[in-house]
Amino acid sequence: VTSLSIRHVGERFQRSNSTISKYFKKILFAFSSRDIYSKYVRLPRSDAPVHPTIHDNPKFFPFFADAIGAIDGTHIACAPSSEERDVMRNRK
């Protein structure tokens, strides 16, 4: 939720990185358990319209045209060619 690294969260709460990591994993497993997941997670329907911010922007739509959902803040490791490296660079 805080969009901070484990190191920053550990510094903020004065706990070791291993403690932060241990409890993060516990929370992750709790939220992905069948009871919570089936009750609170709803995947978008296949006929749900694409949001106008994505649909009307040629920078996004060709790449997200067939996507069924996304998680905010997800980072995906990639190894682009040297010509594409600047385009693929993370803004943070």
| Host domain of residue 19 | 1-41
pLDDT recorded at residue 16: 94
More confident residue, 65 or 72: 65
Q: By percentage, how much of the chain surpasses pLDDT 70?
A: 79
The tally of domains found in the chain comes to 2
The reported pTM is: 0.44
Q: Per-residue pLDDT tens for 14-42?
A: 999 999 999 989 988 888 888 888 888 77
73 and 34 housed in the same domain: no
pLDDT recorded at residue 35: 87
52 and 33 housed in the same domain: no
DSSP secondary structure string for all residues of 54-83: HHT-TTTHHHHTT-----TT--------TT
In the numeric block, which tokens belong to residue 21? 């990591």
